[in-house]
Structure 1
């Protein structure tokens, strides 16, 4: 619900001549009633901790005004049809906002601790991938151009690159996604894919038959461990999507069967909450039940996104993310470190990784992120660069206000569904490019790109590896990293092509 019209911009600061306590109480009750009934509220801007304007369109007229109180309560005003630019002009003329930019002055009024900033959906050219905007969305014509007469993808790397930068048109997602999720091989012909579908459909119904033929004791155990949770989850997953909307929708039952059958197919993983969030978009695009099942198998097996990772899986993700933040956003990393172990656990981003940003962005933007990650262009961990991009774009409050761990969780949680997904994607691609240019990387990030096909350093040159010094089971760095890197000689700083050992092995 948009609440932009309810903004009380007067921001009057009450002095000694304020209203009586009784009048103030009546006023509070009226405000409370308006909030509950109409979604209308007002705030005293003089008591707020921060004001952030996030423009979402290229014309910079629509977007959100995010107001944060000093108690970490957030109000978000949505400007769907313009007008945010006018409000921005008002704020920029307001002396109280302009004072917040005087970082180096000690201002007497304690209210001047409020932070004010404006974010536009554009990146400076220095922060943009040089190949940004060179690829259009992959449509039917472009897709057919990537196939030869037999239906094989002729150059896998070119297709992945096109999808990474441009995404896939919704009309052909159901045909292209099975390639990205390793259900179809890029080398397969059209005839081979049809034969595979028949074979896999038979296998799928054999798995279902195995589930339906369980003994009573097996059924009871399966209901307790799997089916009870699945039945609760599917009826509340993506119900706003037309594909799953309405009572007794057969597509909901199809999703339920896929999840139950997967738990039989892979009892080690079984089912965990969140897996329905991953299956639903697949089914809505692929449509066929058997094909969706095998695409989901590919999603769980061949991508880094894992719905219910083991502790060591999540810790590896977080370790990579911490190292990327240390390299690319040192101020934020320093803040996390100052909070100790709780801060370094980065609880605010666990949901991003577990549910592939599906709860953070509208479906259209989240699925674009999925496609960019599934393309495996130069890294298998592009989702971590998306995490860094979110922090870079939306994390200023965390640093400037020195937010504690629980306040960080609240800060990013309140921004869910209010962030600009396209801006985040562009920033993430830029960060990947910057990582590509690093002359040195810590050995803790050595494995970040080793699973790629044609990889990040495919020119034959690789960056030098610096040992991070955390190898309790080894006397020396297992990656051939140097404990100390001497200062570069004059004229050699920033030069790429430094070779240590050939420590990067890429998988086809």
Structure 2
């Protein structure tokens, strides 16, 4: 498939300017590296602390793997060898990146990669690229998730003020609890697989922003959140509303709206300092149009102003 050829580029396994021979060499070297990671994990049983770590990780992975995408033909049926491959990749990732280890939901992110790539070592390194170098991956306990939500709130205020104001008047509305799953699982539970993977590819392309997933979030709120504002729904009802829409939303409409929102954002001549990072590409940026808006400071406390590089530039 086209995805099998393209995803290794989008997930940083191969450089975009690499030749066929260079890619074959990279693939060979990565395969050898993967075998070393596996061997290191398998010998970890000699260290009691390491052995306990992998015992605990394996117990969690085994529970998740048997529940991940079991209706998909690639993982369907009892004693499916692809489930063993998924488990091996996740265990080896925990060995490769012990500080991250394994957190619930990683199997959901790996499964589509494995179904597309269909090669253990290649899928592992694509997964590494996804986890290490893609901004739209968060874990529920890290500060990255809070950073994502902070950007999302500020972007919501800018792009959909009516919905923001509705959330703001609720005691915990701006926690945006309904959006946590969107970010954590990259919309996989919200849209059919084909549409969700189109969104993944759109985010991986880094087209004009590294934070396109946040524009997708705003798009969902803009397209499907009007009833929430009109009916003045509370926090719990908002969560129920969006959960009930899972697998019933149009991915194509949401993507079109997200692109429109990004276009409008890129036309802004001035943006608040809290959204500066969204306008700056940290990734490859192969198709960036070098958008450089003026940034103004909205910091309120003296401490925030001292840290802000745009302090003194007022709205």
Are the aligned partners of 1:272 and 1:307 in contact in 2 as well (CA < 8 Å)? no
Q: Please tell me whether residue 378 in structure 1 is matched to residue 187 in structure 2.
A: no
Decide whether aligned partners of structure 1 residues 227 and 464 sit closer, same or farther in structure 2, where only a CA change above 3 A counts. Answer: same
Partner of 2:15: 185
Are the aligned partners of 1:446 and 1:479 in contact in 2 as well (CA < 8 Å)? no
Decide whether aligned partners of structure 1 residues 472 and 202 sit closer, same or farther in structure 2, where only a CA change above 3 A counts. Answer: farther
Pairwise mapping of residues 256-405 of structure 1 onto structure 2 (< 5 A)?
Answer: 256-340=87-171, 342-405=172-235
Q: 1:481 Cα shift? A: 5.3
Deviation digits for residues 360-415 of structure 1, max 9, x if unmatched? Answer: 00000000000000000000000000000000000012111111111111110010
Q: 1:268 Cα shift? A: 0.3
Equivalent-residue separation in structure 2 for 1:394 and 1:267 (angstroms): 39
Are the aligned partners of 1:332 and 1:399 in contact in 2 as well (CA < 8 Å)? yes
Are the aligned partners of 1:464 and 1:481 in contact in 2 as well (CA < 8 Å)? no
Residue ranges of structure 2 left out of the alignment (5+ in a row): none
Equivalent-residue separation in structure 1 for 2:136 and 2:63 (angstroms): 23
Q: 1:205 Cα shift? A: 0.9
Q: 1:311 Cα shift? A: 3.4
Equivalent-residue separation in structure 1 for 2:181 and 2:297 (angstroms): 30
Higher relative contact order (CA 8 A, sep 6+): 2
CA RMSD of aligned residues (A): 1.7
Q: 1:463 Cα shift? A: 1.9
Pairwise mapping of residues 425-436 of structure 1 onto structure 2 (< 5 A)?
Answer: 425-436=255-266
Q: Which one has a larger percent helix, Structure 1 or Structure 2?
A: 2
Deviation digits for residues 13-59 of structure 1, max 9, x if unmatched? Answer: xxxxxxxxxxxxxxxxxxxxxxxxxxxxxxxxxxxxxxxxxxxxxxx
Are the aligned partners of 2:299 and 2:305 in contact in 1 as well (CA < 8 Å)? no
TM-score by length of 2: 0.94
Q: 1:308 Cα shift? A: 1.7
Equivalent-residue separation in structure 1 for 2:26 and 2:237 (angstroms): 50
SS state at 1:473 partner: helix
Worse-superposed segment, 467-476 or 405-414:
467-476
Q: 1:172 Cα shift? A: 1.4
Are the aligned partners of 1:379 and 1:455 in contact in 2 as well (CA < 8 Å)? no
Q: Please tell me whether residue 458 in structure 1 is matched to residue 290 in structure 2.
A: yes
Equivalent-residue separation in structure 1 for 2:202 and 2:143 (angstroms): 25
Decide whether aligned partners of structure 1 residues 327 and 296 sit closer, same or farther in structure 2, where only a CA change above 3 A counts. Answer: same
Equivalent-residue separation in structure 2 for 1:174 and 1:284 (angstroms): 9
Q: Please tell me whether residue 174 in structure 1 is matched to residue 8 in structure 2.
A: no
Pairwise mapping of residues 51-70 of structure 1 onto structure 2 (< 5 A)?
Answer: none
Q: Please tell me whether residue 420 in structure 1 is matched to residue 226 in structure 2.
A: no
Structure number with larger C-alpha Rg: 1
Are the aligned partners of 2:153 and 2:174 in contact in 1 as well (CA < 8 Å)? yes
SS state at 1:441 partner: strand
SS state at 1:244 partner: coil
Partner of 1:225: 56
Are the aligned partners of 1:471 and 1:477 in contact in 2 as well (CA < 8 Å)? no
SS state at 2:14 partner: coil
Q: Which one has a larger percent strand, Structure 1 or Structure 2?
A: 1
SS state at 2:187 partner: coil
Are the aligned partners of 1:393 and 1:424 in contact in 2 as well (CA < 8 Å)? yes
Q: Please tell me whether residue 250 in structure 1 is matched to residue 85 in structure 2.
A: no
Are the aligned partners of 1:244 and 1:251 in contact in 2 as well (CA < 8 Å)? yes
Partner of 1:157: none
Equivalent-residue separation in structure 2 for 1:318 and 1:394 (angstroms): 19
